[in-house]
Amino acid sequence: MCVECRVWKKSRQLVHRVAPPLIRHVLECVRTDDISVPIAAKELGLSVRRLYQLYSDYLTAYGPGIQGSWIPGVSGGDHAPDWPVDVTTLLRKRLASTPPASYSFAASEALRLCNYGLDRAQVRRWAIANSLAHEKVPRRPHAPVRRWQRSQIGELWQLDATPHRWFPPSDTQLPMLNMLDDCSRVFVGSKIYEREIIMAYLDFLPTAFLDYGLPLQIYVDYHSFFFTQVPETLTTLGQALRFYGVSFRYAPTAQAKGKVEREHQFWQQRLPAFFASEPVSQIQDANTHITALRLHRNQHEQHRELQMTPGEAWSSAEAQKRSVLRPVPLCPWWPYVWSVQTSIRTGADGRVPIGAHSIRLEIPPNSKVILCHHPSGHYSVLAARPKSGTMPVLLFTNRPK
pLDDT digits (tens, 9 = 90+) for 159-187: 999 999 999 998 899 999 999 999 999 99
Note the pLDDT of residue 139: 64
Note the pLDDT of residue 17: 57
75-to-5, 11, 17, 401 alpha-carbon distances in Å: 10, 7, 13, 68
The stretches in the chain having pLDDT less than 70 are 1-18, 74-80, 137-148, 254-256
| Cα separation, 235 vs 238, whole angstroms | 5
In 116-131, which positions are buried (b, 16+ CB within 10 angstroms) versus exposed (e)?
eebeeebbbbbbeeee
pLDDT digits (tens, 9 = 90+) for 102-131: 999 999 999 999 999 998 889 999 999 898
Rg (CA), the chain: 31
Instruction: Evaluate whether 172 touches 166 at the Cβ level (below 8 Å).
Output: no
| Cα separation, 191 vs 181, whole angstroms | 16
| Cα separation, 351 vs 363, whole angstroms | 9
Q: Look at strands 368-373 and 357-360 and give their pairing.
A: unpaired
| Cα separation, 42 vs 18, whole angstroms | 13
Nearest to 179 by CA among 253, 257, 247, 104: 257
Q: What is the DSSP letter of 218?
A: E
Note the pLDDT of residue 297: 94
DSSP string, 134-162: PPP-PPPPPPPPP----SSBTS-EEEEEE
Instruction: Evaluate whether 382 touches 206 at the Cβ level (below 8 Å).
Output: no
141-to-100, 104, 222, 263, 342 alpha-carbon distances in Å: 22, 18, 28, 16, 49
Note the pLDDT of residue 12: 45
268-to-92, 99, 163, 219, 238 alpha-carbon distances in Å: 20, 11, 9, 21, 29
In this structure, whether the domain defined by 157-272+312-319 belongs to CATH 3.30.420.10 is answered with yes
Residue 334's Cα: distance from chain center in Å?
A: 28
Angle, helices 258-277 vs 85-95, to 10°: value is 110
Return the domain boundaries, the chain.
3-69, 85-129, 157-272+312-319, 334-397
Note the pLDDT of residue 46: 82
Nearest to 213 by CA among 189, 248, 178: 189
